[in-house]
Amino acid sequence: MTYIPEMLPSRRASAERPRRVVFVAYEGVSLLDLAGPLGAFIVANRFGPGAGESPLYECSVASVRGGAIRTADGLPLGTESVLALKGKVIDTLIVPGACAVDDVTRDKALIRWVRNNAGACRRLCSVCIGSFLLAAAQLLDRRRATTHWMHCSLLSERHPAVSVEPDAIFVRDGEI
């Protein structure tokens, strides 16, 4: 994981609107890498400060075209199109990993969308080998990052401008 979200915001900080968390998905996304973090935000909404009031987080799963994508586990997953996010503030953009590095970086349109929209997001995160998508979008250049231990050398090899920390469980470098 490249970043772990900060502590829950206070109810007052989220009184205006819930923080928008967008998970980008692609063919071959790992269900575990998507559902685990998504579940953490759902639990925060259900049991966090002010439970029962308006939610702290508004979560969505988006892909380039929207509609069903197939996860690495073979399950079809419904997504909204990234076009539906136009004009919306994204507080946290999360790139889940996959079972195969090439699945993460196959969708060039998604890489372009992430690169073009990253500057408007308050923070960017990746789970496991989702870091390869952030690196392909050149968002990790001259930054510290990590990935699954089995793939650290490959991340360094493919993206020499990234300072890979192979022994870190997570790395936070600014808004990434």
Q: Which of the following is catalytic: 59, 121, 125, 128?
A: 128
CA dist list (Å): 159 to 46, 51, 61, 96, 122: 39, 43, 27, 19, 24
The span from the CA of 36 to the CA of 54, in Å, is 22
Chain CA centroid to CA 169, Å: 16
163 with 143: CB under 8 angstroms?
Answer: yes
Catalytic (active site) residue 152: no
Q: By three-state DSSP, how is residue 150 classified? A: helix
For residue 38, the surrounding DSSP H or E stretch is helix 31-47
- Rounded CA-CA distance 161/41 in Å is 32
**Could you give the residue numbers annotated as active site?**
128
